[in-house]
Structure 1
Amino acid sequence: MTRVRVVSALVVLAAGLFGATSAKAAPGDLDPTFSGDGKALTSIGVSSYGNDVAVQADGKIVVVGGSDAGAGGTTRFALTRFMPDGSLDPSFGGDGMVTTDFGNVAADAVALQFDGKIVAVGGQAVARYLPDGSLDASFGAGGKVTTDFSVSDVKVDRDGRIVVSGYGGGGLVLARYNGTDGSPDASFGVGGTARTDFNRGVDTFPGGIALQADGKIVAVGSAPGLDGLGDLAVARYNGDGSLDTSFGQQGTQITDLGGDDALKDVAIGPDGTIATVGRSYCFECSSTTLVVAVYTPDGSLRGLSLTDVDGTDSGSSVAIQSDGKIVAAGGTIDDFLVARYDSVGNPDPSFHDDGVYADVGVRTTDFGGADSAGGVALQPDGKIVAAGASVTYGADGSAVSRIAVARYEGGSISGTAPVNSSPPTVSGTAAEGQTLSANAGAWTGTAPLNRSYQWRQCDSAGANCLDIAAASATTYAVAAADIGHTIRVRETATNAYGQGFADSGATAVVNGNAPVNSAPPTISGTATDGQTLSLNPGVWTGTAPISRSYSWRRCDPSGTNCVDIAGASITSYVLVAADVDHTIRARETATNGYGQSSVESAASTLIKAKPGTIAGTVRKQKSGAAIAAATITCTSGYSSKTGSTGNYSIPNVPPGSYSCTASASGYRPSTRNVVVSAGQTSTANFTLTGP
């Protein structure tokens, strides 16, 4: 009898009930609607194998791995697509199979884009295929991007960017590529690449990666411990490729199980739980066990299970159901191994072979050879798909490998994750300073659903979108930085069983605003011929930069019927004789890339002529001697006194006719009429009769 040993070391215990199993199909039973018995075997070339699997939205199953041409041949990327019933899909490569030569390497991992394209990675190649299996010529060079490191896993983020992990330079390497053309994403790490050695100073070996809903990236692998043996290694990165210092110990978490330990894959649960799978080798007992380690969102170890079926067990892939249960896949010495655990790593007793592994939540599947699962994926209906290889040996000892796929019943799941049936929409005018509003989309899924929003700035075609910082309300005030871009809003719906998101359509290209005046210009200065008036600029709103120009205008006494003054186009103006008995206004014109607007100042007071001066002497009639301290008084209140020389001067007298009188103590006054001309000095001499 096969020996079964399960060690469960839980850091935090969780209580809960497992769902009831169907009377017809128990969780973990092979699904007879898939290839008749739940299993499918296929070959590409002389020998082929599967390393990873993904389920399309239409239920088709994509398996990636390698195909060998035989003696002297090379290994190629091998992609196989199955129909939901387990038959090969003839719309993919003509017969359901595609191979591509990328230099004697196999595909190790696969990810599906939202548009149906397929991304496969292996060796130093990242390749993208169209839904029909042909290479996507818009990606990289003829459908392939070549890295400078060995790639082990791939995911597609919510923005359509491609995130890969691998090994290079002695450490874990992450790289991110733009989904449009495969070019490196310069906003990630250094030139699109981030590297981590877990501060061990020696080689760190990568496993898989998973993407959180907030854009953070979780990577797992193996980091050598102080004893030289591998330890479980987990790291979390921010969206820019830097380590997330809020996770574990400054971004990394190391777990030493005492053996030679490694993590191979990772998945993120609906509540942010991080589930990892791998293996632990015990030197003393010469056995390998499947490891499931569960971490909290902050990197603390929450649960740990070691599953030992026959001492040669390892985990290669992990997925999390919408109810939080963890599904791990790998191999024993001869069979597929699929195991299920609760959300903290306790084996699920409802998932078992008929009494054989009743206490450990394990299923094994025999394809007739030495079998091992490399990847696991979940269907929306809860069924479990595992893919890998089945190796048989001829009489001469030669080995032949075939791609092996199995589908299992998942059992009843009490709820469903949110699924969008109608995306959100955006209302409002796409212009700077305007407010856009998010109108909720329609979702199915188990209530209650919580919704959140993120506004995104995209290029003019609505692609290459990036989250806008601090823009997570249901409304968004369009900023100057959005001009020339389009805006989308992303709605994320979350419930206890998962999370989904949907993007609105793109707005029109955001325009700026033409200048709008909020305070007109003003004029300062003396309204007199020869004086200088100054324009004090008005206040404008509108999209920067705003340029301003000016013109001075001569108006009638009431401030109307204005005409531009030739050559008067700066912020100051010297009044001339032609302005006398008129008023003056200043016009300010503001211009930007979106329009032009003008506004005028209030009219000045009536412009006065340049004043004149009344000047002369006061002398004695008989002797002609100067009379000092004589007073000269003119109408309108203008006056002056003579000095010791008998001279006087009355400045700033407006043009006109005046009656002026000179008087002095002991003398008879003398009066005369004086006409003052603009800017001129009018002479008025007086002689007084006296002692």
Structure 2
Amino acid sequence: MKHLIFCLLMLPTSIILAQGSGDLDTGFDVDGKKIIEHNLGNTPPLNEGDEYARAIYVYPDGSTLIGGYAYHTNSNDIDMVVTKLLNTGNIDVSFGNQGHAVVGFDRGGDNQDKLFEIKVAPDGNILLIGSAEFSGSDTDFAVARLTPQGFLDPDFSGDGKMTVHFDNGGDNSDVAYSAYVFNQAIFVVGYATQSTGTDFAMTKIISDGLNDGDVDINFGVNGRKTFDLAHSATSIDKALKIETGSTGVGFWILGSASENDNSESPAILKVDFTGAIDTAFSTDGKYVFNDSRSSYIQDVTKKPNSNEFVFVGGDTNPANPDVINDCAVTYINTVSTNMGEPVGDTFNFNLDPNPFIFDFNSDCKTAAFSRTDSKLILSGNLYPDNMSSFSMGVMRLSSINVVNGSSSYSIDSNFATSGRQAIAFGGSGQVVDSPSKVAVDWNEKIIIAGTATNTNAVQKFGVARLIGNGGQDPTVSITSPSNGASFVEGASMSFSGTATDPEDGTISTSISWRSNIDGFLNNGASISCPVNFACLSVGIHLITARIEDSDGQVDEDSIAVEITEFQNDPVVVISSPANNSTFIQGNNINFIASASDDEDGDITSSITWNSSIDGAMGSGGMISTSALSVATHVIRAQVIDSNGQSDAHQITIHVQQNPDIIFKNGFE
């Protein structure tokens, strides 16, 4: 890190220090954490409604959509809410209404509408997946579509919203959790209640630009299909995720199945793109992993470029049943099989980096794989020994694998403390900081969203960002101009620099240039005025070149340059005698001139006179002399203004010998 400061400047600068893997990212809302409050309702008092973040979508530019649902103040009314954050963690006020989109289906009952997943279609439109209440426990699949700008899209079902009901019995509770956009259609999965249980449920919604938002009645029965995973009329089967296979053929529908013991087991269904069960998988297209544990499933994620899946949740610690929960991770490999069936295993972890002596342990709420090296990130609740509050826990594994006959994992010791990080938002009252979703952005940074208790003891959206791969600092150097260089106002000038990073390589084109007086100039390895930025104002500028690498590490280099005010030269004119005049030696010669300056005015009195033969002649607007030698003289009048700028005017005169003297001498 370098600071070459011109001697006239002693200006402070601020540099972001290198952060390691698992550290809270100080480039995100200063401390790596942010509480988002929507405060729905007309007159929100201090005890405003609770809000729950449930979904994350990350854009390649680092901006993020955080979605979930929020209670209205003093009401049971719940709406879907989405907030867009910039890479800095600031709210993107250009999105929706000052950065937020609120969607209510208002179908009936308490109007409780919940969002569980956000998907962005190839055209940039934003899909909100969840449920809408019809009455009481009767809920339907709910899908809303926003424009990229964050407003309901009227080209989708007329008002940007649509619902799908299965109503197969029981309390008719139908809930959607996930969607996949494929071939001008939106495939949505969740569960549909039957008379004595629930089944995986799937619908297909048209998205062809003509009938967007209509259910495809040619799919299943009136656009709907249900699947019994546990082969029991009383089982509780829930589809939590839909993915395509590593070869892009058909869908994997992932979720849980439970019997009368209320224990949930990982469940997988394989269907083709028409929704027909793929019986080439596990003999009947279905697979339920049973390990006789008392467990529950919270989330499912797919390992990149594979047909391997991770189910996360919690279960009773088999070694100590008095401990409430372990983080339970079930890894299922559908490629490595045993007698045609997938193989799987369950691993238990404590997410707490500093467990209490009588720790109630932790459970897992969500999981995601890193993009480049497939490291598994787990996030869940940390329970202190007195259960007075929750905090968010994050853990990273370097590897996890299950093949037929063996299982293995390794904790990433380079991540935070022993592979674990704890996050608390600093609220008041009985604090509940609980994650619901984890995602990895395009720079491998880890984003966790859930609930965080604010200072009013109310649960709001809580978002945190961790450094994924703590890297080395980049290096930037200004190569020209030199420190202390001076330029005249309005003159062209260039700034050039180089920047490198151990991980990113040469990143000179990303250098950001700034003046402490004129502000941001431009980005690039070399910039110039007036091509890339307005020429600098008069003064002494601290010019800073700043570089940030893909890990958020920063370096800066600074120089000082001085911009001086542009001044016009003074003007001097000899008005007498005329150029090439001839004079007789000894005769008096009058020299007259005038001088002026834009800044100083009339400066005639400052004129100095000089002969190329006889030297200095005097000063002022008029001088007289009879002492010039016989010769041809170049007479020069010069003036210098108060800024040191000068001008000169010169003439040539001839001084000849007196002819009377020549004649007299001729007769001697």
- Give the alignment's TM-score, normalised by structure 2: 0.54
Correspondence for 2:162: 145
Offset, 1:55: 0.4
Q: 1:79 aligns with which of 68, 73, 82?
A: 82
CA offsets per residue over residues 357-391 of structure 1, 9 Å max, x none? x1xx3322111231111112221121111111113
Q: 2:71 aligns with which of 68, 72, 83?
A: 68
Correspondence for 1:189: 220
Give the Cα separation in 1 of the matches to 2:20 and 2:286: 39
**SS of 2:409 mapped into structure 1:** coil
Q: 2:366 aligns with which of 316, 327, 333?
A: 316
- Asked whether 1:383 is paired with 2:433, we answer no
Q: 1:161 aligns with which of 185, 201, 212?
A: 185
CA offsets per residue over residues 627-663 of structure 1, 9 Å max, x none? xxxxxxxxxxxxxxxxxxxxxxxxxxxxxxxxxxxxx
Amino acid at match of 1:39: K
The answer to which of 368-377 and 208-217 deviates more is 208-217
**SS of 1:210 mapped into structure 2:** strand
Offset, 1:303: 4.5
Give the Cα separation in 2 of the matches to 1:377 and 1:161: 25
- Asked whether 1:230 is paired with 2:238, we answer no
Give the Cα separation in 1 of the matches to 2:225 and 2:85: 35
Amino acid at match of 1:172: F
Residues 177 and 190, structure 2, Cα contact 8 Å, conserved in 1: yes
Q: 1:119 aligns with which of 127, 134, 143?
A: 127
Correspondence for 1:295: 332
Give the Cα separation in 1 of the matches to 2:220 and 2:413: 44
Q: Write out aligned runs for 1:219-368 (5 A).
A: 219-225=253-259, 227=261, 229-282=263-316, 284-298=321-335, 300-309=342-351, 310-333=360-383, 334-341=390-397, 342-344=399-401, 346-350=409-413, 352-354=415-417, 358=418, 361-368=419-426
CA offsets per residue over residues 125-172 of structure 1, 9 Å max, x none? 111101111101111241111011533322333435322221113211
Give the Cα separation in 1 of the matches to 2:400 and 2:182: 25
Q: Write out aligned runs for 1:583-594 (5 A).
A: none
Residues 51 and 387, structure 1, Cα contact 8 Å, conserved in 2: yes
Change beyond 3 A, Cα 1:371–1:152: farther
Residues 267 and 318, structure 1, Cα contact 8 Å, conserved in 2: yes
Residues 277 and 328, structure 1, Cα contact 8 Å, conserved in 2: no
Correspondence for 1:106: 114
Q: Write out aligned runs for 1:170-569 (5 A).
A: 170-180=198-208, 181-186=212-217, 188-198=219-229, 199-202=231-234, 203-213=236-246, 214-225=248-259, 227=261, 229-282=263-316, 284-298=321-335, 300-309=342-351, 310-333=360-383, 334-341=390-397, 342-344=399-401, 346-350=409-413, 352-354=415-417, 358=418, 361-368=419-426, 369-392=431-454, 399-411=457-469
Amino acid at match of 2:343: L
Offset, 1:89: 0.4
Residues 319 and 376, structure 1, Cα contact 8 Å, conserved in 2: no
Give the Cα separation in 1 of the matches to 2:414 and 2:77: 40
Higher radius of gyration, 1 or 2 = 1
Residues 270 and 277, structure 2, Cα contact 8 Å, conserved in 1: yes
Offset, 1:249: 4.8
Offset, 1:293: 1.9
Correspondence for 1:25: 19
Give the Cα separation in 2 of the matches to 1:90 and 1:393: 24
Give the Cα separation in 2 of the matches to 1:320 and 1:326: 7
Correspondence for 2:527: none
Give the Cα separation in 1 of the matches to 2:298 and 2:176: 10
5+ residue gaps, structure 2: 1-16, 40-47, 106-110, 132-139, 167-173, 336-340, 352-359, 384-389, 402-407, 472-503, 505-668
Higher RCO (CA 8 Å, separation ≥ 6 residues): 2
Residues 194 and 242, structure 1, Cα contact 8 Å, conserved in 2: no
Aligned residues: 386
Give the Cα separation in 1 of the matches to 2:249 and 2:214: 19
Correspondence for 2:614: none
**SS of 2:88 mapped into structure 1:** coil
Change beyond 3 A, Cα 1:172–1:223: same
Amino acid at match of 2:442: P
Residues 188 and 204, structure 2, Cα contact 8 Å, conserved in 1: yes
Give the Cα separation in 2 of the matches to 1:184 and 1:212: 24
Amino acid at match of 1:386: I
**SS of 1:195 mapped into structure 2:** strand
Residues 266 and 274, structure 1, Cα contact 8 Å, conserved in 2: no
**SS of 1:172 mapped into structure 2:** strand
Residues 209 and 266, structure 1, Cα contact 8 Å, conserved in 2: no
Change beyond 3 A, Cα 1:281–1:294: closer
Give the Cα separation in 1 of the matches to 2:299 and 2:282: 18
Change beyond 3 A, Cα 1:249–1:373: farther
Offset, 1:286: 4.6
Give the Cα separation in 2 of the matches to 1:322 and 1:247: 29
Amino acid at match of 2:253: A
Amino acid at match of 2:147: L
Offset, 1:71: 1.3
Correspondence for 2:546: none
**Identical pairs, percent:** 23
Amino acid at match of 1:349: D
- Give the alignment's TM-score, normalised by structure 1: 0.52
Give the Cα separation in 1 of the matches to 2:119 and 2:414: 27
Offset, 1:87: 0.2
Amino acid at match of 1:139: F
Correspondence for 2:55: 52
Offset, 1:268: 2.6
Give the Cα separation in 2 of the matches to 1:285 and 1:187: 52
Give the Cα separation in 1 of the matches to 2:79 and 2:262: 34
CA offsets per residue over residues 389-440 of structure 1, 9 Å max, x none? 113586xxxx511111111111179xxxxxxxxxxxxxxxxxxxxxxxxxxx
**SS of 1:241 mapped into structure 2:** coil
Offset, 1:302: 4.4
Correspondence for 2:619: none
Offset, 1:317: 4.1
Give the Cα separation in 2 of the matches to 1:366 and 1:233: 33
Give the Cα separation in 2 of the matches to 1:401 and 1:154: 24
Residues 340 and 347, structure 1, Cα contact 8 Å, conserved in 2: no
Residues 164 and 176, structure 1, Cα contact 8 Å, conserved in 2: yes
Amino acid at match of 2:256: S
Residues 368 and 440, structure 2, Cα contact 8 Å, conserved in 1: no
5+ residue gaps, structure 1: 1-22, 414-445, 447-691
Give the Cα separation in 1 of the matches to 2:470 and 2:279: 39
Give the Cα separation in 2 of the matches to 1:263 and 1:238: 25
